[in-house]
Structure 1
Amino acid sequence: MISAASDSVSTALAVVQASLEYAGTVAFAISGAVAAGRKQMDLVGVIVLACIVSVGGGTVRDLLLGSTPVFWVQNPTFLLVGAITALVVVPLTRTRAIDLLRRYRIVQLSDAAGMALFVVVGTNVAIQAGANPVGAAIIGVIAGVGGGIIRDMLANEIPDVLRGGQFYITAALVGALVYVLLLELDVPELVVFWVPIVIIPTIRIVSVLTGWGVPTFVYNAPPTGQLPTIDPDDLRR
């Protein structure tokens, strides 16, 4: 009876996880398409950037773990979802629907939820591949934020996750560490799955709404120019 209940929980979690993965894929694809629009890319560029954000983090995760072919080669549905989302975003930008989503932070909320799911999945995949808990947590963070970093680099921008002082990578790392800690404590599977998925977007959303975050490093470099010459005779005096 207990085994049957456990199987039911695992099945339900698998369905929820798959649904959230596709929802996160859509959210990341929207951010990629919007970034492409800001850079005035053509339609191909919009689709490519959206797809890269959708699968970039998971691709880096699989490459680090030596898991090839990478996940989207085995299941290209994620690429298809990213491409379709990009094609939908283009006409929506003319109706200001995307602006409304951004104004009410719907895109950021979806991005935070998608990141949380990808962090948890990435950490779990790394553990199953034999990584130690700390290494698995780091790979989980990379899986969650890697796509966004690649997107910003291709768009010739400093990655959002590395600037602005908001909790982004920090939120992902906290969630990944909580996940591996709960696994070590052997708590129920349902708790292990949901606790970090709640923690990560909560930290991220609170940071966005309140402005809390990590300190920003500001270095005022001295003015550049020709250095003054030194007379060797002055050194002998």
Structure 2
Amino acid sequence: MTILDILDYAGVAVFAATGALAASRKQLDIIGYLFLATVTGVGGGTLRDLVLSAGPVFWVKNPIYLLVCSAVAVVVFFLAPRAQSRYRWLVWLDAVGLSAYCVMGAAKGLAATGSASVAIVTGVLTATFGGILRDLLAHEPSVLLRPEVYVTAALAGAGVFVATLWIGLPMPAASVAGLLTAFAVRGGALVFGWTLPTGKSAPGRHPDDVM
């Protein structure tokens, strides 16, 4: 098993855990756990494969990913009620999943197209879409609307992975570099509240002023 295979399974499992934790916060039944865990675990990779027109998406080719999501959901179903600060667990596990999946998505995009820019985009999509779906379905505040950086972390991790491969680092070293970069950026955002500059807008005009 290669490091990319490990990152792939790890990303699915960790994102599935965040989906199950979201189900726990909403006090859903076991089917709710299974559904949110699976959608979150495979959502980003599904979008990636559809964008790349890679034939049947990865979990159709290899249903073991669905078993991983289901196993994680069942474990969280029994353990989550004993855990404190489930939202803290959710955001940090999400950071781990994002870090693994931005590298995996970039590697898949690079292998399919040979384009560095496409690889970075597929890395970002793979790393963020599952979390977006999770928050949407669980009626949680979207990770995209939180003030600290999120997509930027996936962008940095995928960019470092592609750049280090381009300068000649072997795949394992480039993968670790990308993963650590993404986790450092996202972790720093969670701990220190790192944000990007926001846009400034003028006050809205009264409707009568635009008639």
TM class, shorter-chain normalised? Answer: 0.7 to 0.9
Percent identity (aligned): 37
- Report what 1:3 is aligned to: none
- Report what 2:142 is aligned to: 159
User: 1:143 & 1:35 partners in 2: Cα distance?
Assistant: 19
User: 1:107 & 1:18 partners in 2: Cα distance?
Assistant: 23
Give 2:6's match in structure 1, choosing from 8, 19, 36: 19
CA, structure 1 residues 149+79, in 2 after alignment: closer, same or farther (shift >3 Å)? same
Task: Map 1:1-237; keep pairs closer than 5 Å.
Answer: 14=2, 16-95=3-82, 97=83, 99=84, 102=86, 105-160=88-143, 162-216=144-198, 227=208
- Normalising by structure 2, we get a TM-score of 0.86
Q: How much has 1:79 moved relative to structure 2?
A: 1.2
Q: How much has 1:40 moved relative to structure 2?
A: 4.1
Give the 3-state SS of the residue equivalent to 1:115 in structure 2: helix
- The runs of 5 or more residues in structure 1 that have no matched partner are 1-10, 231-237
- Letter aligned with residue 98 of structure 2: M
Aligned residues, how many? 210
- The runs of 5 or more residues in structure 2 that have no matched partner are none
User: 1:34 & 1:107 partners in 2: Cα distance?
Assistant: 6
Contact 1:109 1:201 in 2 (8 A): no
Q: How much has 1:58 moved relative to structure 2?
A: 0.3
User: 1:129 & 1:188 partners in 2: Cα distance?
Assistant: 18
Give the 3-state SS of the residue equivalent to 1:58 in structure 2: helix
CA, structure 1 residues 36+221, in 2 after alignment: closer, same or farther (shift >3 Å)? farther
User: 2:205 & 2:34 partners in 1: Cα distance?
Assistant: 42
CA-atom RMSD in angstroms? 2.6
Structure 1 window deviating more from structure 2 (149-158 vs 24-33): it is: 149-158
Give the 3-state SS of the residue equivalent to 1:129 in structure 2: helix
Contact 2:21 2:90 in 1 (8 A): no
Q: How much has 1:69 moved relative to structure 2?
A: 0.6
**Could you say which structure has the larger radius of gyration?**
1
User: 1:106 & 1:17 partners in 2: Cα distance?
Assistant: 24
User: 1:47 & 1:143 partners in 2: Cα distance?
Assistant: 20
Contact 2:10 2:100 in 1 (8 A): no
User: 1:59 & 1:219 partners in 2: Cα distance?
Assistant: 36
CA, structure 1 residues 68+213, in 2 after alignment: closer, same or farther (shift >3 Å)? same
- Normalising by structure 1, we get a TM-score of 0.77
User: 2:33 & 2:199 partners in 1: Cα distance?
Assistant: 33
- Letter aligned with residue 153 of structure 1: L
CA, structure 1 residues 33+223, in 2 after alignment: closer, same or farther (shift >3 Å)? farther
CA, structure 1 residues 83+222, in 2 after alignment: closer, same or farther (shift >3 Å)? same
- CA deviation map 1:151-176 (0-9, x unaligned): 1222344521x112212110110111
User: 1:90 & 1:136 partners in 2: Cα distance?
Assistant: 35
- Report what 1:5 is aligned to: none
Contact 1:24 1:111 in 2 (8 A): no
